Chains A and B, each alone.
Chain A
């Protein structure tokens, strides 16, 4: 009954209710949109990192992460391989040889990370294969190399050119080998493109003199949210000779940034809520004073203060819920087409690329933040109605009836 009364009262002054509604809608739609964009940017950062070389899980010899030197190769890679093969949560893995070294062309040289990979394996855990913009991906040929676009520019080389790679060997001398560039890739991270090159695992193993050994396993799980399960399983089976890291261990700053962002979304919600409250207080006040006479009558016929109070709160609450609902729909309608086409922020692309995001942002909504916003807005409306409702019940019935 009280609810029905509140509902009808809202529609008495359509224009006014409509304007309050619009401001709630704008607020919520804005929240949904910003949330989608920032969240999209964050998860793009994360997934780009994962897809470059981080993967979901990395396995090394214990101590490798702190000191990535040649001799820290995995003692028994076949054991690791069979462990991974029996784990049902593992989707794919890639064995990598790892070395830092120098790449020299006729005109310039640059410090790089040289990955030795089995091309088919690696293509299942990283996007390097699909990031080739010139030439082709590694095949079975020896002494072939693929390098990033930025690096190619720096060295002044193109597909087909020869370059020399140098690195420390297991014995401690400098090993060098000449490679032919067969492909150039461009990823979303300019830093990665500047730093990373890929060669055949066999070639690199020979160059470093480490037999058939590898430094790193990169693992992709079927469900990355369950990566800790895989980690625990692998850790217990392999023992303390190995170190096992998930992407969360490997990208602590990014994970932290994502947490930070969630907090800043909360602040954003509060500020928008505060801005809305002013409008809601004013509107509710006006609607209360307009109906003072009516309230006087209601009080005179014996309506209790608490019910009157509740009725006004209900009115604001309904407006809040309604606005939230419409705002949510508007925000989603804006988000959905953008989620397909993406928003091109190429004016800021250099900045974004250096963060490993890429120039086109695809909004992604996080359910948690949405739920927060959806719960928050009606609550804001209720807060805005507290004072007007208080004013209403402070009335003396006689005064109220005679009020013009």
Chain B
């Protein structure tokens, strides 16, 4: 009966209720679409960054993250190998060595970031091997061949096929010095990176740097961003070595994680403002509709309706509108998010450049993550409940006689 009464009261002033409804739908759709695009794009960005180079997870020597030096290295023993092979969700893995060095060609020399890699393994873990610009990638066991950043080649005034000299401090602290042949260049669209990168075979790097069979990092590709925690736990418990750490992408790329957090927080902040503004609209409407009916309320109070029941009525009315608005908003929001999953927004030329600096795909994509719908609905419901409080309080304090006399 109370529900019926509330329902009919809503339709008594159709126009007003519809506008309020529209406001709720607007807020819900905006919020769901914006959150969808934000969270969807984050996942896209994370994937494209980690798949480019870092991998979803890395096995590192425990000091490597703070101090990436040759001494922070380890040997991939059978325990680690078994763990990697037996853990569900690990797609593949690739061992790496990293060192700084100096590259010289004729009278030109440059600082360089040297990576020793196994291209056959990397292909299954990361995508940078595909970024070959000219020439080709070496194979894992080919010795004394390197691939360099495109810009580095230009800066050295060298070309593919030339021989260069690499100088680097080895594991034992001595300076190593060796000739290499440039067999290809890579291009990521980021000058800083391309003017310093050198890739060589893992074995070549191990001999140049006197590393034996040690490596610095094993990059791992996982099947899903959401499985990282599980994989991490399993690997840790299988490897059980206090000298080794397993880190997920957010630890390896804290800048990316923090940038996402920052953007995320500013998104939530903005939605908060949006919802509060809509809440004021609801407050105003409910208050007006309540004050309009003071006389009616006075009569039912005189008949003996308890004050509390009357405040329930006010709440039920608002909740009904909010609920309908949320249902519609969720449906529209779902449709919009679904659309942007199928048809990601392709960014324009200039924004594209900006995105490429961070190695992001120049796209905005959405997601249908359940938590978005749930959180948005819950916040709007909560705030519309809160905005009812003042009108409901006015009703609670209403004296029957004052109501009857209200004009």
Are any A and B Cβ atoms less than 8 Å apart in their complex?
Answer: yes
CB of A34 closer than 8 Å to a CB of B: yes
Mask for A150-185, Cβ within 8 A of B = 1, else 0?
000110100000000011100111100000000000
Residue of A nearest to B260 (CB): A351
User: Known contacts being A174-B167, A260-B351, A351-B257, is A110 close to B107, with CB within 8 Å?
Assistant: no
Indicate if the CB atoms of A351 and B16 lie closer than 8 Å: no
- Contacts of A30 on B, CB cut-off 8 Å? 273
Binds A, one of B137-145, B282-290, B359-367: B282-290
Q: In whole Å, how far is A389's beta carbon from the nearest beta carbon of chain B?
A: 14
Interface residues of chain A: helix, strand, loop or mixed (majority): helix
User: Closest residue of chain B to A287, judged by CB?
Assistant: B288
Bound form: Cα–Cα A117–B233 in Å: 51
Q: Determine if A26 and B111 form an interchain contact, defined as CB atoms under 8 angstroms apart.
A: no
Contacts of A351 in B (CB 8 A): 254-255, 257-262
Question: Of A14-22, A53-61, A125-133, A136-144, which stretch is located at the interface?
Answer: A14-22
**B405 close to A (CB within 8 Å):** no
Contact A282 B111 (CB under 8 A): no
Interface residues of A (CB under 8 A from B): 15-16, 19-20, 22-23, 26-27, 30, 34, 38, 67-69, 100-102, 104, 106-112, 153-154, 156, 166-168, 171-174, 253, 256-257, 260, 268, 271-272, 274-276, 278-279, 281-283, 285-286, 345, 347-352, 354-355
Question: Could you give 7 example pairs across A and B, Cβ below 8 Å?
Answer: A30-B273, A102-B100, A168-B107, A253-B353, A279-B277, A286-B288, A348-B261
Contacts of A166 in B (CB 8 A): 102, 167
Contact call A27/B155, Cβ cutoff below 8 A: no
With beta carbons under 8 angstroms apart, the residue of B110, B284, B351 that contacts A20 is B284
Check B285 against A282 for contact (C-beta < 8 Å). yes
Are A355's CB and B281's CB within 8 A?
Answer: no
| Complex interface residues of chain B between 241 and 274 (CB less than 8 A to chain A) | 254-255, 257-262, 265-266, 269-270, 273-274
Give the most central of B26, B69, B265, B283: most A CB within 10 Å: B69
Cβ contact within 8 Å between B278 and A111: no
- B265's partner among A112, A174, A348 (CB-CB below 8 A) is A348
Residue B100 contacts which of A109, A153, A172, A350 (CB distance < 8 angstroms)?
A109
Show the binding face of B for A, using Cβ within 8 Å: 15-16, 19-20, 22-23, 26-27, 30, 66-71, 99-102, 104, 106-113, 154-155, 167-169, 173, 196, 254-255, 257-262, 265-266, 269-270, 273-274, 276-278, 280-281, 283-285, 287-288, 350-351, 353-354, 357
- Decide: A34 and B270 in contact? CB cutoff 8 A: yes
Q: A107-B69, A282-B16, A351-B262 are in contact. List 17 more A-B contacts (CB 8 A).
A: A15-B287, A69-B108, A102-B111, A108-B67, A108-B169, A153-B66, A156-B67, A174-B109, A275-B274, A275-B277, A279-B277, A286-B285, A348-B258, A351-B254, A351-B258, A351-B260, A352-B258
